[in-house]
């Protein structure tokens, strides 16, 4: 299996009709960047930073985060590294952050909502990312966005962090800010979000669940958790169309980006970047190369 895939290692990702795509890897730990390189990834399309915050007693310091983000930036040698800011809440609990128990955690105080409400915590992460950006091609991505205002607020905080770092004489680099499209709200206003975002990445794991109003862990309704449901396909198509109209890059970092049945549609609609689990990178490139 790996034999026949090896010919796709180090090869550009080009469809039969000659359109150049990118296959990136998803990671959860800084060390995983090596995995992406070894599997022929052209970048990192999703660094799930919550894993830096999980399974420990205290929140990671700015320097600890700086170290992790720098390691990834350097490992990727100027290839694109998309760092998603803290996506906690929902199913991802963190004891020391003492998030109140909620009746509906998936509809609650999580991800960018929590971060915008806890600015010191958020700024610590943003500063670490901006400082690490001097070592590579880092971009910031915002999770679970539902409004334009959330993006504006995050950008104000990033600007504040840049100003602070400047005043402190610390080295940093300002970076592009992108938005995850993983809620029906974000897909529906993707034309408006495209005015504030420098790129999109479609998170089909959450987008499918929220669009279909289904908990995939519930066996009675899990049959509805299906990216091929017309409502989910429409949300994806609309998002890509609005990104194209605004001239911004649009990728996908949910599991569906590696789905051979979906890839032809994603190519047809114009998706630019496919970010998948590192072990699926070569297979995904092969699928793209064998399609028009
Ligand atoms: C997604 O929702 O598709 C996604 C990539 O984010 P996560 O799986 O980390 O929620
Ligand atoms: Mg998600």
62-73 pLDDT tens trace = 999 999 999 999
Atom of ligand 1 nearest to the CA of 254: 3
C-alpha to C-alpha distance for 183 and 58, rounded to whole angstroms: 30
ipTM: 0.99
Query: 205 alpha carbon to ligand 2 midpoint, in Å?
Result: 6
85-117 pLDDT tens trace = 999 987 677 888 877 889 999 999 999 999 999
Q: Residue 1 has what pLDDT?
A: 60
* HSE toward the beta carbon, residue 6, CA cutoff 13 A: 4
* HSE toward the beta carbon, residue 97, CA cutoff 13 A: 26
Query: 202 alpha carbon to ligand 1 midpoint, in Å?
Result: 9
| Nearest CA residue ID for atom 7, ligand 1 | 205
Q: Residue 97 has what pLDDT?
A: 87
C-alpha to C-alpha distance for 260 and 271, rounded to whole angstroms: 14
C-alpha to C-alpha distance for 238 and 187, rounded to whole angstroms: 7
8-41 pLDDT tens trace = 999 999 999 999 999 999 999 999 999 999 999 9
Cβ neighbours of residue 93 closer than 8 Å, sequence gap 6 or more: 99
Three-class secondary structure assignment of 256-291: HHHCCCCHHHHHHHCCCEEEECHHHHHHHHHHHHCC
114-154 pLDDT tens trace = 999 999 999 999 999 999 999 999 999 999 999 999 999 99
Cβ(225)–Cβ(217) under 8 Å?
no
| Nearest CA residue ID for atom 8, ligand 1 | 205
Query: 9 alpha carbon to ligand 2 midpoint, in Å?
Result: 28
Which residue ranges have their beta carbon within 6 Å of ligand 1?
Answer: 46, 48, 87, 182, 203-206, 253-254
Backbone angles phi, psi at 276, to 5 degrees: -135, 170
Atom of ligand 1 nearest to the CA of 87: 9
């Amino acid at each position: 299996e790996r034999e026949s895939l090896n010919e796709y290692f180090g090869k550009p990702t080009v469809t039969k009709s000659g359109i150049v795509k990118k296959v990136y890897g998803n990671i959860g730990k800084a060390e995983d960047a090596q995995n992406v390189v070894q599997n022929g990834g052209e970048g990192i399309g999703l660094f799930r930073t919550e894993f830096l915050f999980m399974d420990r007693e205290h929140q990671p310091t700015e320097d600890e985060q700086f170290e992790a983000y720098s390691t990834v930036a350097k490992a990727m040698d100027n290839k694109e590294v998309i760092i998603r800011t803290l996506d906690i809440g929902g199913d991802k609990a963190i004891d020391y952050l003492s998030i109140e128990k909620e009746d509906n955690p998936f509809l609650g105080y999580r991800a960018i909502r929590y971060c915008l409400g806890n600015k010191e915590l958020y700024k610590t992460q943003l500063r670490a990312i901006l400082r690490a950006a001097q070592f590579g091609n880092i971009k910031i991505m915002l999770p679970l966005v539902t409004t334009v205002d959330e993006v504006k607020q995050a950008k104000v905080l990033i600007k504040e962090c840049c100003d602070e770092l400047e005043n402190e004489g610390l080295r940093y680099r300002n970076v592009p800010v992108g938005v995850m499209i993983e809620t029906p709200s974000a897909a529906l206003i993707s034309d408006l979000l495209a005015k504030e975002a420098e790129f999109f990445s479609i998170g089909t794991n959450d987008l499918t669940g929220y669009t279909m109003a289904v908990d995939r862990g519930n066996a009675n309704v899990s049959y509805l958790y299906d990216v091929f449901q017309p409502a989910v396909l429409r949300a994806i198509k609309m998002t890509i169309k609005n990104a194209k109209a605004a001239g911004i890059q649009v990728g996908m970092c949910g599991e569906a980006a590696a789905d051979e049945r979906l890839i032809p549609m994603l190519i047809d609609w114009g998706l630019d970047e496919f970010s998948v689990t590192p072990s699926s990178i070569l297979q995904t490139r092969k699928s793209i190369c064998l399609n028009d």
